[in-house]
Structure 1
């Protein structure tokens, strides 16, 4: 019975990830890129200014009334930059070859337009409860796109899917990654690590939006800097291999057999599908997760947070995930036969030796724990939507139970169902965005035609 159900879940997930989601997510990226005049290019400078301007100035306190723009981005990046940045690129390279990285770049470029639309609509339709608590996300803009019973049911379906995909099963996966890596590097028992993670997580959860914002705005820059420096050391230790690495990426994107020596299965389709799929699921553009963070940002116009959201995709894919790819390719580790996090660990160990395992364990702790916080926050917004604020404490405890459970052992069905729910929640989100594409354009035009000129006059 278990095996039969697991096989069904695998087949459903395979259909979703190999065709339906690629068409939906790439289609959304292309649609919003052209509809908004390639906003990911025109608005990129403004996004960087707002992001890094927020990094080096007083950030302000988060509370029920929301977060600063930078805190919202940090919470979004906390969720985006997870174990997928260590394992995702490795899996894509192992299966699709170096050319898969090129298609990751394409997916991220298109995804920047999609996430602009997500963040803008999340800001447009965010809600303020009677107690002053600000919340928002796809459930609210789905309800705006489809009125009546259909809208309510469609939004509820999304809410249930994201709670299970990220809040429960997804966080079990993240906890398992931490426990496994620390067991390998330091011999820490998995159960003990799971309990420690759960206690730390519960401490953050019970502090509400203010504590979540404080933790993410502190931990995200530290974890990014730690990984960037560690990866650059490995890459520059193999500096002569960098030109060949980029050649392999570009050639492998269109002629994989030239890189793999004609190995069986080396096709453009394989490189494209693995690259696009891993890229999209790493940066989460179009999945409907990060809009929950961007919805609560304190900005003067919805488009302002749309600019910032694009930078999150850029950091996730073009910086963090790209570094993982270059570490693997420049060290020649893709020929090891390993895949996933094990391949990344092998690549770092080629320069760091035993410290490579320790380095990955520390990165896993930063990446996965920050993702647990982000995914909890996204799930909480949907718990509030479905059941009200009284259910939040119960949800927090259940998430911590999943964290402990996930750290013990890898249960295939749980992992596969997490992927399946993760895939299914994309569909109501993207359909809602397509239905609101006219509103996205209207809000975009209002920013450039009305809000921006008035700001310049005021200055």
Structure 2
């Protein structure tokens, strides 16, 4: 059995290295760089406006199509992004790629904010209503409706939806999240794997069978509270180690361009490995360019596509530039990355060095809630992709399969899970990024038109 697992891991690793090779990294970051330039550094100059919209977006706009408020849509998207990637993913990236991986994760997220804005703008502009009266949108719809005159749209749209279902079932949505919850429950509370898997399945079934409104209700309650609690824990550790900040950031930047020598339990890493791990884990965490978050954005009761784009853009900011950066800083300044530890064990060790047992519980409980909400968010993404491929008749069978797969996620090894997730994530980005570049003129025109309206009308009233 061990030999079979080793052979499977080696095969998947080869596929992963091919998928996440230089072409995809260039396409991914290059799209973000291009959109950043074309939209005039929107993630810098329009971030204050975007944050103000987030604070005023709890109430849905009156008389506008949609299923949930803009804040609920953002919370649903964040429920899927703020998860194991922020805790386990950052630890894995630094363990394999060295401290320099954090620099490339940050850089990819910065340009990814422009990508996220563009994705969500298009999702609202080209969304439709399904046979059940629910909003349906995302890359498969802006490929189909925005590029309907292009022959390749007939291939790219179903291809994205197919990969989206696979990411939900076999990538971000299930295995890594369940594995993280089960590990955390065993470490902190000595709960057997079987019981944890059963409990997760029952909770997921209860929430997801209630549809987007129930998922959004849970996300609005859990995500902001847990994110703030986790960030507060990071800030306390950083405050206790203030004297290490200069050397920590110096190591991050130098390692990004020179690689990292072997040290302690760290085997050493070159620059290319730091780049690949940083970008791949960053995308796993914030999903910019993946095309998933726009599916939630399409459900928002908002009139202007650009406004929802700005609100959604803050998701990448919160997820990676705030939460992931803090996690990475804690791991490096406490020297936890040099220990012979990986995944949640490394992050838990980092927190416990400064906060003792309390730190370990912050990581454990935070990870369990983050992972659970990610399962909920990706259930919805997979549902919308299934609806695109098979119509509303495919939704219930998909949900049943999803719940059954969730229960099996506890019994796969961590290495296999992460590599499998990386592969399907990478495949999902390709049709989405092609569509974003093909619809660049639409994105620019909608953005210019929206900000011209703001100049004429003045600031929008609060919802």
> Do they superpose with TM above 0.5?
yes
Q: Distance in 2 between matches of 1:64 and 1:102?
A: 40
| 1:116 is the counterpart of 2:117 | yes
Query: Would the aligned equivalents of 1:80 and 1:284 in 2 still touch at CA under 8 Å?
Result: yes
Query: Would the aligned equivalents of 1:51 and 1:308 in 2 still touch at CA under 8 Å?
Result: yes
CA gap of 1:65–1:120, structure 2 versus 1, over 3 A, is closer
Per the TM alignment, residue 454 of structure 1 is displaced from its structure 2 partner at its CA by 4.7
The aligned counterpart of 2:108 is: 107
Which segments of 5 or more consecutive residues in structure 2 lack a partner in the other structure? Answer: none
The aligned counterpart of 1:86 is: 87
Query: Would the aligned equivalents of 1:166 and 1:418 in 2 still touch at CA under 8 Å?
Result: no
TM-score using structure 1 length:
0.92
- Of 211, 232, 254, the residue aligned with 1:208 is 211
| 1:343 is the counterpart of 2:365 | no
Per the TM alignment, residue 194 of structure 1 is displaced from its structure 2 partner at its CA by 0.9
The aligned counterpart of 2:402 is: 399
Query: Would the aligned equivalents of 2:261 and 2:268 in 1 still touch at CA under 8 Å?
Result: no
State the Cα deviation string for residues 364-398 of structure 1 (Å, max 9, x = none): 11110010011111111111111122221221111
| 1:179 is the counterpart of 2:182 | yes
Q: Distance in 2 between matches of 1:243 and 1:458?
A: 41
The more displaced of 360-369 and 5-14 is 5-14
| 1:252 is the counterpart of 2:251 | no
Query: Would the aligned equivalents of 1:194 and 1:408 in 2 still touch at CA under 8 Å?
Result: no
Query: Would the aligned equivalents of 1:181 and 1:357 in 2 still touch at CA under 8 Å?
Result: no
Query: Would the aligned equivalents of 1:169 and 1:402 in 2 still touch at CA under 8 Å?
Result: no
The aligned counterpart of 2:445 is: 442
CA gap of 1:410–1:37, structure 2 versus 1, over 3 A, is same
Query: Would the aligned equivalents of 2:99 and 2:251 in 1 still touch at CA under 8 Å?
Result: yes
| 1:431 is the counterpart of 2:434 | yes
The more displaced of 411-420 and 120-129 is 411-420
CA gap of 1:276–1:214, structure 2 versus 1, over 3 A, is same
State the Cα deviation string for residues 308-328 of structure 1 (Å, max 9, x = none): 111100101111111111211
Which segments of 5 or more consecutive residues in structure 1 lack a partner in the other structure? Answer: none
Runs of 4+ in 1 over 6 A off after TM superposition: 258-261
CA gap of 1:267–1:290, structure 2 versus 1, over 3 A, is same
The aligned counterpart of 1:165 is: 167
**Secondary structure class of the residue paired with 1:425:** helix
**Secondary structure class of the residue paired with 2:20:** helix
CA gap of 1:302–1:139, structure 2 versus 1, over 3 A, is same
Per the TM alignment, residue 352 of structure 1 is displaced from its structure 2 partner at its CA by 3.2
TM-score using structure 2 length:
0.91
Per the TM alignment, residue 435 of structure 1 is displaced from its structure 2 partner at its CA by 0.8
The more displaced of 142-151 and 290-299 is 142-151
Alignment of 1:280-319 (within 5 A): 280-319=283-322
Q: Size of the alignment, in residue pairs?
A: 455
Q: Distance in 1 between matches of 2:357 and 2:271?
A: 36
| 1:361 is the counterpart of 2:380 | no
Backbone CA RMSD of aligned residues? 2.6
CA gap of 1:318–1:413, structure 2 versus 1, over 3 A, is closer
The more displaced of 416-425 and 25-34 is 416-425
The aligned counterpart of 1:420 is: 423
The aligned counterpart of 1:455 is: 457
| 1:97 is the counterpart of 2:127 | no
Per the TM alignment, residue 204 of structure 1 is displaced from its structure 2 partner at its CA by 0.8
Per the TM alignment, residue 342 of structure 1 is displaced from its structure 2 partner at its CA by 2.1
| 1:66 is the counterpart of 2:97 | no
State the Cα deviation string for residues 36-75 of structure 1 (Å, max 9, x = none): 1111112111111111233xx55689x9932111111111
| 1:42 is the counterpart of 2:27 | no
CA gap of 1:102–1:452, structure 2 versus 1, over 3 A, is same
Q: Distance in 2 between matches of 1:130 and 1:40?
A: 36
| 1:53 is the counterpart of 2:56 | yes
**Secondary structure class of the residue paired with 2:56:** helix
